[in-house]
Amino acid sequence: MRVFALFLLLFFAFSVRSQSENTPNNSFKEFIIKAEYFKTNKNLDSSIYYCEQAVKVSENREDTLKLIQLFRKLGRLYELRAEYVPAIKYYYQSKTLNKDLLDLNELGLCLLGLSNINFRFGNQSVALQQGFDAASIFEKLDDNPDLLTAYVLIGQVYIEIRKFNEAMAIYNKALLKAKQIDDKKNIADILDHIGVIYTFQKKYRQALPMHKEAMEINRQIGNKINLGINYANIGEVYMHLGKYGKALENLNKALEIERETKFYSVFIYIYYTMGATYSRMHKSNKALHYFNKSLELIQQTGEIRERYFVYQLLSEHYERNNMPAKALEFYKKYSLLRDSLNNQANSYKIEELKTRYELAKKEQENKNLLLEKDIQEKRIKIQNLLILFFIISLIMSVIFGVYIYVNRKKLQKTNKTKDLLFSIIGHDLRGPMGSIKQLLELVELTEYPQKDKYIKLIKSPVESSFNLLEDLLAWSGNISKSTNYEPQKFVLKELINQSVSLFHSLFENKKIEFTCTIPNDIVVFADKNHVSAILRNLLSNAIKFSPEGSSITIKHIIEKDMIKIMVVDKGIGINAQNLKKILNPDIFFTTFGTKNEKGSGLGISLVQSFVKLNKGKFGIESEIGIGSTFYFTLPLVE
């Protein structure tokens, strides 16, 4: 019977909570401040308006957390106005946005709001589950005030479905928690609810001290709204005990306090309790006066849940006064409204499912838009790759055109070299380019989940073609500018370290251990760019033919005024026939590496040319299954 008044207490405690907003947007701050101001002053229409303006600002800023909070606030505002369809919609919008971000505090508050709505419309099993879910969240967050609110709501649902033992258990648990943190407001609130349980069980003399203890605490802390409810609950207990004078005395004190606080919704409970008291005193006019005042407030506030209870009290009143026709009339109203309320509860279930469906549909549409955007971005990347390779091909054509033009008088002598070059272009570059073309065509015809797979397949031919292009540019530059020799003094170890750093990932991929025994104080006289190219090619070659877990070492020997630099690997080695092909400058010989790495065959030719330009000697020593040593010499600086 008294669940309504205590629900109002919970309702008020939950509604006054607010969270601070932090955003650099001044208009957003202004909207939030105004929304809170109007909410505090009970102007819910204006509060909703400014919250919706804040939503627009947050949507433009794509601030997900702010939208989660605002949708939850709007759900609460519509709940306070007893407009439960938009309340459900906004709560579920908040929950849906929160799915990925998972702000537990906001999720818990949404569940409390939805639990309240389901409680008010008879969906008690749903209300109970949502209340427990909210309590679980607040336990994780160690948020004691909201946890106690959830406990009180769970207790109210148990009272509503007449599970008084379960309600008492949850209230005792909540009371222990409130006492541990010395939360006097919640201690008083929980004691008042325990008194309600005793009232429902008709244990009025046990209910009375609970309400009085709660009243004393509320008087100490100055909580006037709850104090008014305490007086009203005590008045009801005295009514059931037949002490009508004390009942009216406490109910009038409750009215006096609530008029001061202007929390008029509690008047519904006070008025119909006064009506029931006067009815038992056989003062029919006064009883009907207060019953009607209660119905008027129900009409104003939209508290339809309490209307059918007042109809039940009126039916009992007319029956008590021997007016069976009137008693039957109001009993029928009571029954019809109760059934209507049950039907309305079902309609809210349908509305909830509809809201979930619409939000899920909207979420899927957003995912489809993101997917389409991602596909478009990948398509652009593929097109850019294709354009890059067309540009590379054009540059290569220009380079060879210039080369042929400059060396037209030597064309006949270099005809063999030209044939080799075009053989490389036709085979080694045409193959990867053809693969890329086929893969790109396949990507265009493939469903999205497979696109990433084929895009990754493009990477290998792209890299091999790019490496081939670098070798061709360096080789052609060496042929056409053989006199471009600019020697200088430099520390050999520093250049080696720079070259080795370029292959760090390759060493890691094959788990190859690298060491260099060359001292830090050796200075050579040579073209630094040439030596760098020599080292890069020899290191790349050593890595290519080394198995996983092996080692590569750079050693040296001093020979008078020259230094002999040796790149030693423990790879697969080179047989005598292939060694002759490698050392032949007219043959671009290459084989696959230990992981099927493919080269152009230009590297060793470049090395031999650069070593010769720097007045050094080049050689190879190798043994099948043991490894290879590639060495070259450079002039030392005394």
Q: What is the pLDDT of residues 33-45, one digit of tens each?
A: 787 777 766 677 7
**pLDDT higher at 474 or 161:** 161
Mean pLDDT calculated for residue range 357-379: 64
Mean pLDDT calculated for residue range 316-327: 91
Q: Which amino acid is at 635?
A: P
**Ranges 155-169, 220-234, 383-397, 429-443: which has the least confidence:** 429-443
**pLDDT higher at 584 or 522:** 522
pLDDT band of 214, cuts 50, 70, 90: very high
pLDDT of 299 reads 78
**pLDDT higher at 454 or 308:** 308
d(CA 324, CA 330): 10
Mean pLDDT calculated for residue range 1-24: 44
Q: Would you say 581 and 587 are in contact if contact means Cβ atoms under 8 Å apart?
A: yes
Mean pLDDT calculated for residue range 207-236: 92
Q: Nearest-CA neighbor of 160 among 217, 221, 119?
A: 119
Enter the pTM of the model.
0.48
Q: Would you say 223 and 260 are in contact if contact means Cβ atoms under 8 Å apart?
A: no
Tokens at 54, concatenated? 């804040």
Tokens at 418, concatenated? 């030209």
- Quickly list DSSP for 28-46: HHHHHHHHHHHHHTT-HHH
Domains of the chain by residue range: 371-480, 488-635
d(CA 638, CA 636): 6
Is the torsion defined by CA of 465, 466, 471, 474 positive or negative? positive
**pLDDT higher at 68 or 440:** 68
pLDDT of 167 reads 92
pLDDT band of 15, cuts 50, 70, 90: very low
pLDDT of 519 reads 93
d(CA 129, CA 343): 21
Mean pLDDT calculated for residue range 185-205: 93
- As beta bridge partners, residue 565 has 556, 632
pLDDT of 20 reads 38
Q: Nearest-CA neighbor of 151 among 160, 76, 168?
A: 168
d(CA 533, CA 607): 7
Mean pLDDT calculated for residue range 191-199: 94
pLDDT of 334 reads 79
Q: Would you say 167 and 158 are in contact if contact means Cβ atoms under 8 Å apart?
A: yes
Mean pLDDT calculated for residue range 290-304: 80
18 pLDDT more than 50 = no
- As beta bridge partners, residue 516 has 554
389 pLDDT more than 50 = yes
562: left (phi over 0), alpha (psi -120 to 50) or beta: beta
pLDDT of 31 reads 81
Mean pLDDT calculated for residue range 327-352: 66
Write out pLDDT tens, residues 261-281. 666 668 888 999 999 999 999
Mean pLDDT calculated for residue range 125-144: 89
153 pLDDT more than 50 = yes
**pLDDT higher at 458 or 222:** 222
- Residue 322 sits at φ, ψ, to 5 deg, of 55, 45
Q: Nearest-CA neighbor of 248 among 273, 226, 215, 216?
A: 273
Tokens at 219, concatenated? 């008087």
pLDDT of 431 reads 47
520 pLDDT more than 70 = yes
The domain defined by 488-635 carries CATH number 3.30.565.10: yes
Write out pLDDT tens, residues 351-360. 555 555 555 5
pLDDT of 201 reads 92
* Cα–chain center distance at 373: 19
377 pLDDT more than 90 = no
Q: Would you say 139 and 154 are in contact if contact means Cβ atoms under 8 Å apart?
A: no
Q: What is the 3-state secondary structure (H, E, C) of 442-463?
A: HHHCCCHHHHHHHHHHHHHHHH
Spatial neighbors of 339 by CB under 8 A, at least 6 apart, are: none
pLDDT of 383 reads 76
Tokens at 346, concatenated? 């079902």
Mean pLDDT calculated for residue range 483-493: 84
Beta pairing class for 562-569 and 627-635:
antiparallel
Q: Would you say 2 and 160 are in contact if contact means Cβ atoms under 8 Å apart?
A: no
pLDDT band of 584, cuts 50, 70, 90: confident
pLDDT band of 318, cuts 50, 70, 90: very high
**Ranges 56-60, 481-485, 588-592: which has the least confidence:** 481-485
**Ranges 47-51, 187-191, 453-457: which has the least confidence:** 453-457
pLDDT band of 487, cuts 50, 70, 90: very high
343 pLDDT more than 60 = no
Q: Would you say 275 and 288 are in contact if contact means Cβ atoms under 8 Å apart?
A: yes
Mean pLDDT calculated for residue range 301-307: 66
pLDDT band of 451, cuts 50, 70, 90: low
Query: Residue 131, CB half-sphere, CA atoms under 13 Å: how many?
Result: 25
Mean pLDDT calculated for residue range 615-631: 91
pLDDT of 83 reads 74
- Quickly list DSSP for 135-189: HHHHHHTT-HHHHHHHHHHHHHHHHHTT-HHHHHHHHHHHHHHHHHTT-HHHHHH
Distance between start and end Cα atoms, the chain: 107
Number of other residues whose CB lies within 10 A of the CB of residue 539 = 23
What's the chain's average pLDDT? 78
22 pLDDT more than 70 = no
pLDDT of 216 reads 95
Q: Would you say 308 and 268 are in contact if contact means Cβ atoms under 8 Å apart?
A: no
418 pLDDT more than 90 = no
Tokens at 318, concatenated? 């007319």
**pLDDT higher at 465 or 170:** 170
Mean pLDDT calculated for residue range 383-402: 74
DSSP 408: G
Tokens at 536, concatenated? 């890069």
pLDDT of 57 reads 75
